[in-house]
């Protein structure tokens, strides 16, 4: 158990870096909107969704109905449906741990779990559970710290939210370096750019994912061939 925790801690170190800097950025921005560290800490603990928390800052300016907010949240987070599909089989043997591990399936936890490699002689299911728990902890701690720091020092935070973009670019780069085929990544980029221009910047996320999935099905033969070639090496 101890070993599983230690491995989970090591694996989640990059997420700690990202989550502390992003979480602190979030806490500071919340502070700018007049919400102290208790708010940012609790929101980070219970909502636990990086991008939607940043999007939600706009809601705090007022003028949004709860229905609009619900639809926006479902759209922004619709990608989580695809995370669940990707980890569906990996989550099967999780037993009592499963509900929490579904609840805590953030972008970064997903990226760690979908690249998780079993280690012999280790309780790997416990290790994956600890990854969820530790990531969740870092994100919440970041929110609290950001709120506290934000109330102590005041400096121009314009552009601090770029930390989120930077984190996604880092994960994208990591996946690119390790990918057996670049077709899925390229499909994602092109679908997103086309849909951004067709549907506009507010509504393109869901159409993009649907278009991308359709193309992935159409390109099933070349992708499967590539995957098999790489596995044969």
Partner 1 sequence: MILSASQSFLIFLVIALCTIFTRFLPFIIFGNRDLPLPLQYLGPILPATIMAVLVVYCLKSTAFSAPALWVPQLVSVAVVVLLHLWKRQTMLSIIGGTACYMFLVQVVFA
Site for partner 1 in 129-148 (CB under 8 A): none
Shortest separation between residue 142's beta carbon and partner 1, angstroms: 12
Task: Name residues contacting partner 1, limited to 69-128 (CB under 8 A).
Answer: 69-70, 73-74, 77-89, 91-92, 98, 102-103, 105, 107, 110-111, 114
As a whole number of angstroms, the distance between CA 75 and CA 125 comes to: 30
Angstrom CA distances, 145 to 12, 139, 161, 190, stand at 19, 10, 16, 38
Considering only residues 168 to 207 of the shown chain, the ones binding partner 1 according to CB under 8 A are: 168-176, 179, 181-189, 191-193, 196, 201, 204-205
Q: How far apart are CA 135 and CA 129, in angstroms?
A: 10
Q: Which of 8, 134, 145, 212 binds partner 1 (CB under 8 A)?
A: 212
Binding of partner 1 by 18 (CB under 8 A)? yes
The DSSP code for 96 is: G
Query: How many residues lie near partner 1 (CB under 8 A)?
Result: 99
108 Cβ neighbours under 8 A, 6+ residues apart: 15, 18, 19, 50, 135, 167, 171
Instruction: Note whether 62 binds partner 1 by CB under 8 A.
Output: yes
CB atoms within 10 A of CB 78: 13
Chain residues 19-58 in contact with partner 1, contact rule CB under 8 A? 21-22, 33-35, 39, 42-43, 46-49, 51-53, 56
Compute the radius of gyration of the chain from its Cα atoms.
19
């Amino acid at each position: 158990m101890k070993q599983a925790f230690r491995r989970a801690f090591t694996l989640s170190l990059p997420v700690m870096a990202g989550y502390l800097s992003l979480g602190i950025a979030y806490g500071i921005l919340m502070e700018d909107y007049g919400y102290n560290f208790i708010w940012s800490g609790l929101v980070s603990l219970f909502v636990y969704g990086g991008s939607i928390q940043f999007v939600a800052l706009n809601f705090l300016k007022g003028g949004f109905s709860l229905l609009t907010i619900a639809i926006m949240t479902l759209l922004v987070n619709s990608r989580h449906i695809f995370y669940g599909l990707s980890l569906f089989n990996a989550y099967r043997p999780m037993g009592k741990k499963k509900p929490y591990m579904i609840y805590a399936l953030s972008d970064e936890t997903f990226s760690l779990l979908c690249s998780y490699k079993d280690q012999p002689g280790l309780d790997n299911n416990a290790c994956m559970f600890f990854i969820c728990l530790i990531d969740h902890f870092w994100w919440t701690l970041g929110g609290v710290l950001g709120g506290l720091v934000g109330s102590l020092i005041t400096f121009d935070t314009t552009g601090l939210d770029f930390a989120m973009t930077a984190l996604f670019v880092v994960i994208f780069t990591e996946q690119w370096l390790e990918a057996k085929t670049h077709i899925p990544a390229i499909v994602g980029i092109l679908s997103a750019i086309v849909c951004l221009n067709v549907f506009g910047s507010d509504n393109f996320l869901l159409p993009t994912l649907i278009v991308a999935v359709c193309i992935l099905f159409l390109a099933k033969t070349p992708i499967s061939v590539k995957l098999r070639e790489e596995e044969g090496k």
